[in-house]
Amino acid sequence: MRSVRDDGLRSDRGSATAEFAVVLPAVLVLAVLLVTVARAALLPVALADAAADAARLAARGEAGAATARTVAAAPGATMSTERDGGLLCVEVRAPVIVAGLGRVGESSARGCALDDSGAEGGAP
């Protein structure tokens, strides 16, 4: 309820609260969108790091640690390995998930390391 001041003008008391209540949902949606886009943009970097680490671990014969590193990189990440000459290459794939839209695509990265595991052409 608006009150009338002594000079006959209406008071703006409470208008800041009402404006804040109107603007707050838009600011929150914008913040969530910004965080989601930042996570999606940084996913390839996280996957490249995980692929390089997983390749080094797998090349040393630590397949379990390589898998754990891949899974820790992103939700739903998967790993595949391939031997190419004296290299062991790891490809890591993960879905790109956007809040409110769900899965919108897939990102992947590949990392290779000198194969020291002793399997299929690697060093003994």
- Predicted TM-score of the model (pTM): 0.69
Q: Which residues pair with 91 in a beta bridge?
A: 80, 110
Any idea where the domains of the chain sit in the sequence?
A: 15-114
What is residue 7's three-state secondary structure? Answer: coil
Partnered with residue 96 across adjacent β-strands are 105
At 117, which helix (H) or strand (E)?
none
Q: How far apart are CA 43 and CA 10, in angstroms?
A: 54
pLDDT for the residue numbered 46 = 93
Residues of the chain with pLDDT under 70: 1-10, 118-124
Residue 45, SS3? helix
Q: Which residue type is seen at 124?
A: P
What local confidence, expressed as pLDDT, does residue 123 receive?
Answer: 40
| pLDDT confidence of residue 104 | 87
Note the pLDDT of residue 4.
54
